[in-house]
Amino acid sequence: MKILINTSNLYVGGGVHVALSFINELKHFNEARKYYIFLSQATNKHIEPKTFPDNFHFYFIENSPAPLKTRKKIVEKLDSLEAQIKPDMVFTIFGPSYWRPKAKHLLGVADGWVYNPDSVAYDRLPFLKRIKMRLHVNYKIHYLKRDAEYYVLETLDAKKKLAQTVSLNEDNIFVVGNTYSSIFDDENFTKEENEFYINLPEKDEDEFRLMYIAHNHVNKNLKIINDLLPLLEDYNIKFVLTLDETSFKNLFPKKTDKIINLGPIPQKSCPSVYKQCDALFAPTLLETFSAAYPEAMKMEKPILTSEYSFAKDICEDAALYFDPFEPEDIVQKIKLLGSDRKMQEKLIEKGKERFKHFETARSRAEKYIDICEKIIDDDQGLIC
């Protein structure tokens, strides 16, 4: 059985993390299968082919097929490689793929903008950018429908919304929950001697440190921190972020000692950052499934996040919720959690219980492969 795994279109964010986790988990599976893996620049940086068994074959794809200026050349390369490999099926971890394989194609979808047309996140965009986003979403929908027959999403809610919004057959849409990376199971990544350990500045005795490992996407709502800082002036609260330098300067033009920006960090450095912080602060407006939630639960950190259905579906009673548009409400919840150790412990305990219901990196990979095998064996009348 030949399975082609396509990550050529992934360049940043949670999609890269999921792809790396999945690929690494495949080492533990049946060696009778052959895996042919297209690596993007982002995934290629974190994969060491020598550590994989002989049934793995890696191909570096130097550019994403997403930009029009590189698409024709890259699609021709992907077509040529597929013709040589002759896979039984192709699994693109997250789409759009901007490439239509000849083989059966399973496409992951985790872009909440696509199937949440009424989300408040659209309202946060300036008028012209909002129009641009609507057009871009329609553009993505075209390629999602064109390039695949089967889809996999992270929640039942997302499956229903995608089927309705994009007019897809629900029988060809599968659901596999997201989860944390298996690196969080390895205590070595929380030890200072580990090469991936990031030393944060020494913490003050009364400091309450909030963290959010995220890129500067509008739906992450990081701009709201500017409205929180004046209200927290008399409190020793620090925000730990992982923004690139340009994004950080654009979002926070005024210098402040209340934000510690680490810049983009390797996935293997994430556990060390969680270890040195007190809570997860996620003011996000739109998600399908944020891995930050189970990561915080795994690392025994309380969660502060937006009061939206996607967050409540994942966290249930293991989070303290706020209105992400109301700075005073957010600050009130930050102060409440920061000053109440019993509340912190209660949320941590509830997080431990909620954590038991999530997939593991291994079970997620097993379910992905199970779906691939079902598609290969029979592409008629599949039931999710």
The domain spans of the chain are: 2-179+360-377, 183-355
Joined together, the tokens standing for residue 197 give 């350990």
pLDDT at position 379? 53
**Which of the following CATH numbers is that of domain 2-179+360-377: 3.40.50.300, 3.40.50.170, 3.40.50.1820, 3.40.50.2000?**
3.40.50.2000
Q: What is the pLDDT along the chain (384 residues), one digit of tens a residue?
A: 999 999 999 987 778 989 998 999 999 887 789 999 999 999 999 999 999 999 999 999 999 999 999 999 999 999 999 999 999 999 999 999 999 999 999 999 999 899 888 888 998 899 999 999 999 999 999 999 999 999 999 988 889 889 988 888 899 999 998 888 888 999 999 999 999 999 999 999 899 999 999 989 899 999 999 999 999 999 999 999 999 999 999 999 999 999 999 999 998 999 999 999 999 999 999 988 888 999 999 999 999 999 998 899 899 999 999 999 999 999 999 999 999 999 999 999 999 999 999 988 899 999 999 999 999 987 544 444
User: How distant is the alpha carbon of residue 22 from its chain centre?
Assistant: 13
Question: What's the whole-model pTM score?
Answer: 0.76
pLDDT at position 383? 42
Residues 24 and 11: their CA atoms lie apart, in Å, by 18
Residues 293 and 311: their CA atoms lie apart, in Å, by 8
CATH superfamily of 183-355: Glycogen Phosphorylase B; (3.40.50.2000)
**How many residues are recorded in the chain?**
384
Position 221, amino acid: N
Residues 123 and 137: their CA atoms lie apart, in Å, by 15
pLDDT at position 156? 83
Is residue 173 within 8 A of residue 162, CB to CB? The reply is yes
pLDDT at position 157? 81
Residues 364 and 236: their CA atoms lie apart, in Å, by 40
pLDDT at position 380? 43
pLDDT at position 94? 96
In the 3-class helix/strand/coil scheme, how is the chain assigned residue by residue? CEEEEECCCCCCCHHHHHHHHHHHHHHHCCCCCEEEEEECHHHHCCCCHHHCCCCEEEEECCCCCCCHHHHHHHHHHHHHHHHHHCCCEEEECCCCCCCCCCCEEEEECCCHHHHCCCCHHHHHCCHHHHHHHHHHHHHHHHHHHHHCCEEEECCHHHHHHHHHHHCCCHHHEEECCCCCCHHHHCHHHHCCCCCCCCCCCCCCCCCEEEEECCCCCHHHCHHHHHHHCHHHCCCCEEEEECCCHHHHHHHCCCCCCCEEECCCCCHHHHHHHHHCCCEEEECCCCCCCCCHHHHHHHCCCCEEEECCHHHHHHHCCCCEEECCCCHHHHHHHHHHHHHCHHHHHHHHHHHHHHHCCCCCHHHHHHHHHHHHHHHHHCCCCCCC
Is residue 283 within 8 A of residue 274, CB to CB? The reply is no
Is-same-fold flag (2-179+360-377; 183-355)? Answer: yes
pLDDT at position 280? 98
